[in-house]
Amino acid sequence: MIFDAAAGGRTIRVEVRGQDGRYTVVLDGRPLEVDARETGRHFLSILVGGRSYEAGIEKRPGGYTVVLTDDVVAVDLVEAARVAPARKVSGPARIAAPMPGKLVRVLVSPGQDVQAGQGLVVVEAMKMENEIKAPRAGRVKDVPAREGQAVDAGALLVVVE
Amino acid sequence: MTARQFRKVLIANRGEIAVRIIRACREMGVGTVAVYSEADRLSLHVRHADEAYPVGPPPSRDSYLRIDRMLEAARKAGADAIHPGYGFLAESAAFARACEEAGIAFIGPGSATIALMGEKTSARRAAVAARLPVVPGTLEPLADDPALAREGERIGFPLMLKAAAGGGGKGLRLVARPEELEEAAARARSEAKSAFGDDRVYLERALVRPRHVEIQVLADAHGNAVHLFERECSIQRRHQKVIEESPSPFLTPELRERMGSLAVALVRRVGYVNAGTLEFLVDQERNPYFLEMNTRLQVEHPVTEMVTGEDLVKLQIRIAQGEKLPFRQEDLVQRGHAIECRVYAEDPDQGFLPSPGRILALRPPGGPGVRDDSGVYEGYEVPIHYDPLISKLVVYGYSRRDAILRMRRAVREYRVLGIKTTLPFFERVLHHPAFLSGDFDTSFVEQVFAEADRKRERPLEVAVAAAALAAFRERRFARLAGNPGSPSRSAWWECGLREGLRGGAGAP
């Protein structure tokens, strides 16, 4: 699972995979082997390379507040827009907003040819800008959304055929 | 005065100090009566007391400041004494007088002494009469804005604008320039009115980078008076103390001796009985100036208890029962070092804005030499109506260094979730070189520390990793829950974990 995280003025791409308390956490491309377990409600005991952290985790809109011993850090977190595998090449691809937010930029216009993975629109949510990418190559058929518009999760943004 | 034993004490207060007093009473075999406002039905002091009675709606002027309701509760419960704690009615001469008239012992000085010392300008006049040095300023409250402007001009800026009935930093303003005086006075008056029911103010010269050092005194009704050394209270924000310690790293043995003698001289002069504290400012040349006397138990009394081994609340009760002090000055020793950190429900990263709300998780520290005088519990909702102090964390060590290291350790152990607290701030203050060296004054937090703190390196990667792990686990569990037929053992295990997570982390 890949997240875009914003904390203390920095944005960090973070990937998490694993299970049963053993995870690989990739911070901006740097993989860390992490042992993470819940210790009662709201706490994670985290071991990284032998170092022990006890993080208090408070859920809040847009992410979490992480309470460490010497600091409290608000972390905004969104699951990075996934590039859907090109399962079906036929039929138009309807690209919808993955989260509620504001459409800050439209990068394409109808009739334009796009490559798979090319940015289509930018949605701002939880204080972060998220580029929504084309799931496959094709031609932009329609861009029903306008810049500056508020969009709900699932709102149709771009149709690529 | 003949000694008698109280059977039942009503605590006319709330929160951590009410809990502290209940503990002392219980250890003495004295019955305890709590009072509570409508916002405090679930407060810890109500749970700890033998009896509890409601005294009105949440605003303190309708509940904890209502003398009639306190006395009514005392009569209903058959309490023979009232402990006022600090704040609220603790320095109300009218309350002490009402207790005296009702035949209920007030655990504190007599109403006449409270009136004399509680009003800050008459206290200054008494101190001058007892030959104590005082901070230059007015010796009378100032009636109106023209009088303020005139006196401000005479004393010179910057100056301190203070509530005559003040205490605890309320109704207190530093005024840098004449044009700020009127606005500051309006705010100070309104604050003082709501905190003390008295909006009179006076002026004092603001000393340059003073230390705030106070002397604890005890006096019985038999003419015995002692001091229990000093507390260093220079670590403040918004003129309110956040860290206190004893001994002060700034005092020489000679100055300690001198300030103690000055304090006892004033106590004797005004015929003071029970526990009290004389606050002094000490300038850069180590000249002490009497500031005011608090005719009550102080928030930070535990640091004195740690270094003297005495229980101030029990001594207050024994003095009020008419007993003699069980020691003389020469019996008292200041041993080792104690530090208190006030755990406030405040956000240090937002200028110490109050942060009321529900405490999602609470892990108090333990181990040797650690004392947690708390007024809250996990699941408790810190109300918006009262002082945001939720606990006092106090440690004892053989030396200052030992105590600092122990406090760092205790702060690391102490975890509060759901509300912001001053704990992470303490962790950083306890590493600051100026704090470690003892070379700091009342400007430390807002000037010296704040600057370095803004530039601090923050543990962002750890936080991001922790948040991502939490999000990952939450989403995984949600997917598993959507597929209850999953045969995998680990899925069941994780579903079990999810139950724990759902209880709180998922709550808004």
Interface of A with B in 58-77 (CB under 8 A): 58-59, 61, 63-64, 66-73, 75, 77
Measured from the Cβ of residue A81, the count of other Cβ atoms closer than 10 Å reads 20
Question: What pLDDT score does B96 carry?
Answer: 98
Average pLDDT over residues B78-98: 96
Contacts of B468 in chain A (CB under 8 A): 3, 5, 14-16, 25, 77
Q: What percentage of chain B has pLDDT greater than the value 70? A: 94
**Rounded CA gap, B162 and B120, in Å?**
9
B398 Cβ partners below 8 Å, 6+ apart? B336, B337
**Residue to test with chain A: of B393, B464, B474, B494, most A Cβ within 10 A:** B464
The pLDDT score that the predictor gives to residue B277 is 97
C-alpha span between B375 and B44 (Å, rounded) = 6
Min mean pLDDT across A5-9, B329-333, B395-399 is at A5-9
The topology (CATH level 3) of B136-205 is: Dna Ligase; domain 1 (3.30.1490)
User: CA B377, CA B347: separation in Å to the nearest integer?
Assistant: 19
Q: Please report residues of B whose CB lies closer than 8 A to that of A10.
A: 460
Per-residue pLDDT tens digits for B90-118: 999 999 999 999 999 999 999 999 999 98
> What tokens appear for B77 in the block?
């419960």
- Residue pair B441/B209 in contact by the 8 Å Cβ criterion: yes
User: According to the model, what pLDDT value does residue A86 have?
Assistant: 41
User: B145 Cβ partners below 8 Å, 6+ apart?
Assistant: B181, B182, B185
The answer to whether B287 and B255 are in contact (CB under 8 A) is no
pLDDT digits (tens, 9 = 90+) for A94-147: 888 766 678 888 999 999 999 887 889 887 765 556 678 787 888 999 988 888
B181-221 residue pLDDT tens: 999 999 888 888 877 778 899 999 999 889 999 999 999 99
> What is chain A's mean pLDDT, rounded?
86
- Please give the residue of chain A at the shortest CA–CA distance from B359: A58
B169 has a pLDDT exceeding 80: no
Whether A55 and B466 lie within 8 Å, measured CB to CB: yes
Q: Measured between alpha carbons, how far is B131 from B356 in angstroms, rounded to an integer? A: 45
pLDDT of A66 above 70: yes
* Predicted local distance difference test score (pLDDT) of residue B276: 97
Cβ-proximal residues to A43 (8 Å cutoff; 6+ apart), any chain: A54, A55, A56, A57, B361, B415, B417
- Please report, for chain A, the start and end positions of each structural domain, with discontinuous segments joined by +: 2-79, 93-160
- Contact: B490, A19; criterion CB under 8 Å: yes
**Nearest Cβ partner for A77 among B471, B473, B501:** B471
pLDDT value of residue B375: 98
* Domain boundary assignment for chain B: 8-107, 136-205, 211-454, 461-504
Same fold, A2-79 and A93-160: no
Which three-class secondary structure string do you get for B422-471?
CHHHHHHHCCCHHHHHCCCCCCHHHHHHHHHHHCCCCCHHHHHHHHHHHH
Chain B nearest C-alpha distance from A84 (Å): 18
C-alpha B100/C-alpha B169 separation (Å) is 29
Mean pLDDT over all residues of chain B?
91
Tell me: the pLDDT tens digits for B307-318?
999 999 999 999
Contact check, Cβ <8 Å, B468/A67: no
Its ipTM equals 0.80
Q: Locate B350 and state its tokens.
A: 């937002």
> Residue A31 — very low, low, confident or very high, per pLDDT cuts 50/70/90?
very high
The pLDDT score that the predictor gives to residue B319 is: 98
Instruction: Dump pLDDT digits (tens) for B381-417.
Output: 999 899 999 999 999 999 999 999 999 999 999 999 9
Which one of A32, A48, A59, A78 would you mutate to disrupt binding with B, by most B Cβ within 10 Å of its Cβ? Answer: A59
pTM: 0.81
Domain A93-160 fold: OB fold (Dihydrolipoamide Acetyltransferase, E2P) (2.40.50)
Task: For B482, list phi and psi in degrees, rounded to 5.
Answer: -75, -10
**Measured between alpha carbons, how far is residue A140 from residues A136, A159, B499 in Å?**
11, 6, 45
| Beta carbons of B271 and B117 less than 8 angstroms apart | no
In this model, does residue B426 exceed pLDDT 60?
A: yes
- What is the pLDDT at residue B485? 42
> Is B496 a residue whose pLDDT tops 50?
no
Q: Between chains, do B497 and A38 touch, taking CB under 8 Å as contact?
A: yes
What length is written for chain B?
508
Among B363, B429, B469, the residue to mutate for chain A (most A Cβ within 10 A): B469
Give the pLDDT mean for B272-282. 97
Share above pLDDT 90 across residues of chain B, in percent, rounded to a whole number: 79
User: Residue B175: CA atoms inside 13 Å, Cβ hemisphere, count?
Assistant: 31
Q: What is the pLDDT of residue B488?
A: 41
pLDDT for B168 equals 65
Hey, are the CB atoms on B470 and A64 less than 8 Å from each other? yes
Structure tokens at A100: 């509620």
Give the residue from B15, B45, B51, B47 showing the smallest Cα distance to B33. Answer: B51
Question: In this predicted structure, what is the pLDDT of residue B495?
Answer: 47
Adjacent-strand bridge partners of B35? B53
Confidence tier at B76 by pLDDT (50, 70, 90): very high
User: Contact B121/B141 with Cβ under 8 angstroms?
Assistant: yes
Which amino acids of B are annotated catalytic? 296
Q: How far apart are CA B381 and CA B388, in angstroms?
A: 11
Asked whether the beta carbons of residue B418 and residue A19 sit closer than 8 angstroms, the reply is no
- Position B1 pLDDT exceeds 80: no
CA distance B502 to chain A (A): 9
User: Is any Cβ of chain B less than 8 angstroms from the Cβ of A8?
Assistant: yes
Q: Based on the number of CB atoms within 10 Å of its own CB, is A26 exposed (0-12), middle (13-18) or buried (19 or more)?
A: middle
Q: What is the tens place of the pLDDT at every residue in B127-162? A: 999 999 999 999 999 888 899 999 999 999 999 999
Residues of chain B with Cβ-Cβ distance to A23 below 8 Å are 469, 472
At A44-57, the pLDDT tens digits run: 999 999 999 999 99
How high is the pLDDT of residue A134? 83
**Measuring CA to CA, how many Å separate B78 from each of A114, B13, B36, B81, B418?**
85, 17, 17, 9, 39
pLDDT of residue A128: 56
Are A79 and B494 in contact (CB < 8 Å)?
Answer: no
What are the tens digits of pLDDT across the range B361-377? 999 999 999 999 999 99
Architecture of the domain made up of B211-454: 2-Layer Sandwich (3.30)
pLDDT of residue A125: 61
Q: Does domain A2-79 have CATH number 3.40.47.10?
A: no
pLDDT score, position B502 = 42
Per DSSP bridges, beta strands B274-282 and B211-219 are: antiparallel
From first CA to last CA, the distance across chain B in angstroms is 58
Query: Where does B78-178 have alpha helices with state H?
Result: 93-102, 111-118, 120-129, 145-155
CB contact under 8 A, A12 and B460: yes
- What's the rounded mean pLDDT across residues B263-277? 97
Cα–Cα distances in angstroms (integers) from residue B413 to residues A35, B56, B140, in the given order: 21, 37, 48
Q: Domain B8-107: which topology?
A: Rossmann fold (3.40.50)
Structure tokens at B42: 């679930």
Contacts of A39 (CB under 8 A, 6+ apart): A45, A54
8 A C-beta contact, residue B476 and residue B494:
yes
pLDDT tens per residue, range A69-108: 989 999 999 998 654 444 444 568 888 876 667 888 899 9
